[in-house]
Amino acid sequence: MDLKIKLEQLHQKVIGLKDQIGTEEATKNAFVMPFIQILGYDIFNPTEVVPEHVCDIGTKKGEKVDYVIRNNEEPIFIIECKHWKETADAHNSQLHRYYHVSKTRFGVLTNGIVYNFYTDLEKPNIMDEKPFFTINIEDLKDSSIKILEKFTKKDYNLESILDSAEALKYIKAIRKEFEKEIENPSDEMVKLLVGRFFEKPLTANRMVSFKEYAKKALATSINESISFRLKSALNINEQIEKKEEEVKTSQPIDSNNDSKIVTTEEELEGFQIVKAILREKIPSSRIAYRDTLSYFGILLDDNNRKPLCRLHFNTNNKYLETFHNGKEAGEKILLNTLDEIYNYRNQLHQTLENYN
């Protein structure tokens, strides 16, 4: 199964269970061990996933790290766990000490939701203060999943990870500094920008004014860039939808594609559930569906440009796709039962509001 799908399933498990998880040990069992298993390591093989591994530090004996992950009998990374309500912050953490004696190149600190990956880019065999890579189960990004793939058992490659670790670390640091400058431009940034076109001395009063100008200029530039990209994306999408509509209207009713579409009882049942939720806000006559080869679409006013949600029931795993963040930002949610659709009432109602 695709790594992304497995992580999304773990996310749903985290959502469903975390309020019942009261201890660090329960966090490890419910969240962290499944994560390790998703990476392809055998959690039932104590030579591959070593729990409570002894990491004696100097005169301190019996110090233990939660997990050591081994590949081809070599330790490749260690994991220290916290309760899910705690932050996955390595400051004053035992992970620094364990890393020094563990003979691994990577240390992971996690609360079962956020996983921070560390290495020793600054000084050999001394774990860096800041992670070079972070993945959040509750905010999965394709770029993060692609990096995580390098830590899976089948794709693990030390050199490949180290090659990208430095770039990841410093790109992240530069981005943070840039965001700080946008929020509150420093004197150095203002002098750098203003010095290219303003030849007079920068007095204290001038500096105050130019700081405000710089803040507005940077924010405006970024907002306009985002707006331009969104408009471009919307235009492209509208052109695609228009072409699809033209193709659909030009095809005979008994076309080959239509003959392959089978509307299942589950899809119709899911439609009725969505309809019941949306009838709290609008008449049922405004809620329509169109079945396709790849998904079952539920639309407002039978308009392809106003998707309310989509049911992806054509595979072993069933997903509800919602559009509460906009029709260009569909979010797929794994469903264990059709009744779970009721859990996403707010998202469906928000989608309606987006079209008002």
Residues 2 and 117 in one domain: yes
**Residue 134: inside a domain, yes or no?**
yes
End-of-domain residue from the set 168, 184, 208: 168
**Residue 149: inside a domain, yes or no?**
yes
Q: What is the CA radius of gyration of the chain?
A: 26
**pLDDT given for residue 253 in this prediction:** 42
Question: What is the phi/psi pair of residue 314, to 5°?
Answer: -95, 5
End-of-domain residue from the set 113, 139, 168: 168
Residues 45 and 162 in one domain: yes
Contacts of 334 (CB under 8 A, 6+ apart): 5, 8, 9, 12, 317, 318, 319
> Per-residue DSSP letters for 155-204?
T--HHHHHHHHHHHHHHHHHHHHHHHHHHS--HHHHHHHHTTT--S---H
Read off the CATH number of the domain in which 333 is found. Answer: 3.90.930
**Residue 202: inside a domain, yes or no?**
no
For residues 36 and 69, the answer to whether their CB atoms sit within 8 Å is yes
Retrieve residue 17's tokens: 């269970």
Domain count, the chain: 2
pTM tops 0.85, yes or no = no
**Residue 288: inside a domain, yes or no?**
yes
**Residue 343: inside a domain, yes or no?**
yes
**Residue 127: inside a domain, yes or no?**
yes
Residues 152 and 275 in one domain: no
Residues 119 and 3 in one domain: yes
Residues spanned by the domain of 277: 265-354
The C-alpha angle 114, 106, 62, rounded to 5 degrees, equals 95
Instruction: Return the residue matching tokens 């985290």.
Output: 14
Residues 164 and 274 in one domain: no
* Residue closest to 55 by CA, chosen among 106, 111, 101: 101
**Residue 155: inside a domain, yes or no?**
yes
End-of-domain residue from the set 168, 185, 220: 168
Q: List b or e across 289-324, with b for residues whose CB sees 16 or more CB atoms inside 10 angstroms.
A: bbbeeebbbbbbeeeeebbbbbbbbeeeebbbbbbb
| Per-residue pLDDT in tens (0 to 9) along the chain, 356 residues | 588 899 999 999 999 898 899 999 999 999 999 999 999 999 999 989 988 877 655 545 657 788 999 988 888 898 999 999 988 876 556 777 777 667 788 889 999 999 999 988 888 878 888 888 899 999 888 888 988 998 999 888 888 888 778 788 788 888 888 888 888 888 888 888 888 888 888 888 888 888 888 888 888 887 777 777 766 666 666 666 666 666 555 544 444 455 678 889 899 999 999 999 999 899 988 999 999 988 999 999 999 999 999 999 988 889 999 999 988 889 999 999 999 999 999 999 999 998 87
Return the bridge partners of 123, or none.
126
Residues 7 and 136 in one domain: yes
Sheet holding 307-312, edge to edge: 287-291, 296-300, 307-312, 318-322, 331-335
Return the bridge partners of 331, or none.
322
**pLDDT given for residue 286 in this prediction:** 92
Residues 143 and 292 in one domain: no
Residues 271 and 153 in one domain: no
**Residue 124: inside a domain, yes or no?**
yes
**pLDDT given for residue 36 in this prediction:** 95
Read off the CATH number of the domain in which 154 is found. Answer: 3.90.1570.30
- How many other CB atoms are found less than 10 A from the CB of residue 339? 10
* Residue closest to 207 by CA, chosen among 221, 229, 192: 192
